[in-house]
Amino acid sequence: MATHDRGPLPVTPPQNGVWRAQQLDPSRHDHTIGAYLEIRGAADPVLLAEAVRLAVAGTDALRVRFAEEDDTVRQTPAGPPPLRMETADVTGCADPDAESERLMRAELARPTDLGAGDVCRFLPVFPSAPPGDPPCCAAARCSGRW
């Protein structure tokens, strides 16, 4: 049986706390986990998006929706949501590293809707490379929300 066929499941006490905190203040993002991954060499944005999509599809924790009924929070495993993956090219910026960091911090600050299954977002940033080197791809904010 596929995980997404199981129906609503109980949440853990920490998940319940995060849900309740977010209901009180949807702008909270203290439960957001960000990661910075630098890939040396040329990176194909289409192939990177497919790799990320496959990783999310294979990770149950990144594909759940949360809902509350009768004061009980439940999580429902679901099929993969549409992956929100935009790219940013900072090669023309005066300070590509600073711009990359600004973009990453802005992505981390975006609100999350746990009821919609908005638990995973990715923002690949393509900074400039030294002359003669292939461009680097910094995949900013591989963010799992739990």
Give me the pLDDT at residue 15, please. Answer: 86
Residue labelled with tokens 């009821």: 115
Amino acid (one-letter) located at 94? A
Amino acid (one-letter) located at 45? P
User: What tokens does 68 get?
Assistant: 């509350």
pLDDT at 114 over 80: no
pLDDT one-digit tens code per residue, 69-92: 898 999 888 776 666 677 778 878
Q: Both ends of the chain: CA-CA distance in Å? A: 24
pLDDT one-digit tens code per residue, 36-65: 777 777 777 778 878 888 888 888 777 788
55, 143 contact by CB (below 8 A): no
44, 137 contact by CB (below 8 A): no
User: What tokens does 34 get?
Assistant: 């960000």
The mean per-residue pLDDT over the stretch 104-122 comes to 76
Cα 105 → chain centroid: 13
CA atoms of 69 and 19, how far apart (whole Å): 13
CA atoms of 136 and 126, how far apart (whole Å): 6
